[in-house]
């Protein structure tokens, strides 16, 4: 007799935060997500074994590792390090199944670039937040190489692409700042005969360039007087395996930094933070708002500038943040909004159109969550205006929309609010910072479990 097995629905995991003690001690920042993705992928193009310490062990990075395994790359890990046994440039194998990137937008975009020179079908899919993210700008950038999209759903996932029989070197001028599109093109360029050139009128983070150079790629980077950057890559140069150490993620550190600024009496050291100038937009803004943040124990780790941050509770003031400045910290806008809620006066953040196209509509999710906690907020089409008076009542329930940054940001808000703040589901936090609640609890954060309701 046939028996139908019905899977039990996965219940949401709600959590509330409230009444934190002064945050003290040392907060260890997890590995940088952007560098972790790139380290795995570039190591796959080297010949031999690369060892990586400090790599972020989170769902998004695991999705990239799983995709590389489907391409024939051996990737394993233990408590000490990850090891990638690279196959060399143009050495990847045709995948036998769809490459499922979960909800990792970074992994998807980088892998589309990685496979651009390969004349086989590569099928991509992902989770619910990834399938609705547009890919047209990236696909258009890859088209001159000879990449053909054979199947797509409204310009996104699921998607099947095929590379050309003879990939062509390219000259590409970035139409808009995007370190992910630039990085995808660089991963293609190192696997194409000849010299390819990318011009960035506005510079973005340079992790991919630094890692490629460290692995021995023939890459040069020059910047002119106007600030425009030209990157040239000569492809098919053998890459050598390396031993890498991944520094701490400044976006993950940002949650502890903002929490320490807004929880009275806090004096917290946030350890091992990447302070690459292209990644310090949030810290720079918090300093301008009056945040007491000191850079201590500055050092170099894996070719990157790293520091510990000593953060003490501060009286913050509102600020006007233009589109260019906001563009340097788009991932950090939700947690910056929590700081603005506790600041004195009006904070205006412009240039946020891209927030509507991320894991969820982060602009709307941030505005709705703040309003639910009695913060005066106005959501513009591409802007956010927050008016604070130094305190937040809280007491609201926030819908995370399966977005890890929304979930963590509002848990930070609740640590200093008068009444507790409840986030409907924290399951998404595992995408980038699975140890977030434990790490915050260890330095004085207080969280309360909430019974999930069946829908």
Catalytic residue numbers, as ranges: 331
Annotated ligand binding at 133? The verdict is: yes
Annotated ligand binding at 400? The verdict is: no
Tokens of 221: 């980077």
The 3 state secondary structure assigned to 200-213 is: ECCCCCCHHHHHHH
Annotated ligand binding at 358? The verdict is: yes
Chain centroid to CA 272 = 17
Q: Enter the DSSP assignment of 120.
A: S
Cα 52 from Cα 82, distance rounded (Å): 5
Annotated ligand binding at 178? The verdict is: yes
| Contact assessment for residue 131 and residue 156, using Cβ atoms and an 8 Å cutoff | yes
Annotated ligand binding at 3? The verdict is: no
Cα 96 from Cα 99, distance rounded (Å): 9
Q: Which residues face 300 on adjacent strands?
A: 305
Annotated ligand binding at 33? The verdict is: yes
381 burial type by CB count under 10 A (0-12 exposed, 13-18 middle, 19+ buried) = exposed
Cα 282 from Cα 85, distance rounded (Å): 36
| Contact assessment for residue 166 and residue 122, using Cβ atoms and an 8 Å cutoff | no
Cα 229 from Cα 201, distance rounded (Å): 6
Exposure string (b/e) for 137-164, b if CB count within 10 Å is 16 or more?
A: ebbebbeebbbebeebeeebbebebbbe
- Classify the C-alpha dihedral 344-350-353-358 as positive or negative: negative
The 3 state secondary structure assigned to 421-444 is: EEECCCHHHHHCCCCHHHHHHHCC
Cα 445 from Cα 455, distance rounded (Å): 30
Annotated ligand binding at 182? The verdict is: no
Omega before 158 within 30 of 0, i.e. cis: yes
455 burial type by CB count under 10 A (0-12 exposed, 13-18 middle, 19+ buried) = exposed
Residues in binding site for 3-phosphoshikimate: 33, 38, 178, 180, 205, 331, 358
Annotated binding site: 33, 38, 105, 133, 178, 180, 205, 331, 358, 362, 405
Binding residues for phosphoenolpyruvate: 33, 105, 133, 180, 362, 405
């Amino acid at each position: 007799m046939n028996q139908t097995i019905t899977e039990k629905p996965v219940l949401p995991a709600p959590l509330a935060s409230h009444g934190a003690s002064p945050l003290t001690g040392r907060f260890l920042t997890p590995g940088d997500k952007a560098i972790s993705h790139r380290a795995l992928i570039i190591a796959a193009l080297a010949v031999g074994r690369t060892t990586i310490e400090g790599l972020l062990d989170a769902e998004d990075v695991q999705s990239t590792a799983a995709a590389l395994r489907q391409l024939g790359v051996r990737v394993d890990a233990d408590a000490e390090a990850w090891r990638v046994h690279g196959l060399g440039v143009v050495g990847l194998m045709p995948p036998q199944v769809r490459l499922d990137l979960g909800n990792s937008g970074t992994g998807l975009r980088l892998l589309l670039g990685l496979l651009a020179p390969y004349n086989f079908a590569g099928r991509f899919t992902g989770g619910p937040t990834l399938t609705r993210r547009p890919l047209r700008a990236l696909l258009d950038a890859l088209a001159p190489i000879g990449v053909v999209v054979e199947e797509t759903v409204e310009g996104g996932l699921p998607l099947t692409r095929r590379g050309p029989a003879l990939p062509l070197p390219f000259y590409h001028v970035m139409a808009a700042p995007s370190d992910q599109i630039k990085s995808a093109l660089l991963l293609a360029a190192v696997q194409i005969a000849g010299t390819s050139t990318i011009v960035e009128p506005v510079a973005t983070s340079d992790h991919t360039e630094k890692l490629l150079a460290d692995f021995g790629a023939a890459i040069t980077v020059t910047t002119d007087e106007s600030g425009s950057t030209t990157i040239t890559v000569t492809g098919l140069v053998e890459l050598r395996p390396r031993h890498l150490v991944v520094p701490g993620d400044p976006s993950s550190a940002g949650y502890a930094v903002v929490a320490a600024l807004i929880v009275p009496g806090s004096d917290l050291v946030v350890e091992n933070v990447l302070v690459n100038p292209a990644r310090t937009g949030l810290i720079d803004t918090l300093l301008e708002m009056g945040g007491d943040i000191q850079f201590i124990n500055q050092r170099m780790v894996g070719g990157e500038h790293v520091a510990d941050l000593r953060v003490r509770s501060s009286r913050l003031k509102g600020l006007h943040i233009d589109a260019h400045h906001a563009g340097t910290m788009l991932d950090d806008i939700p947690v910056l909004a929590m700081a603005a809620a506790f600041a004195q006066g009006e904070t205006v953040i412009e240039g946020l159109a891209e927030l509507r196209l991320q894991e969820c509509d982060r602009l709307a999710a941030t505005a709705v969550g703040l309003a639910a906690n009695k913060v005066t907020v106005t959501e513009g089409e591409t802007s956010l205006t927050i008016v604070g008076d130094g305190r937040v009542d809280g007491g609201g329930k926030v819908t995370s929309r399966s977005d890890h940054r929304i979930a963590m940001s509002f848990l930070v808000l609740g640590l200093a609010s008068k009444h507790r703040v409840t986030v409907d589901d924290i399951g998404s936090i595992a995408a980038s910072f699975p140890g977030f609640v434990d790490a915050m609890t260890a330095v004085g954060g207080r969280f309360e479990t909430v019974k999930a309701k069946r829908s």
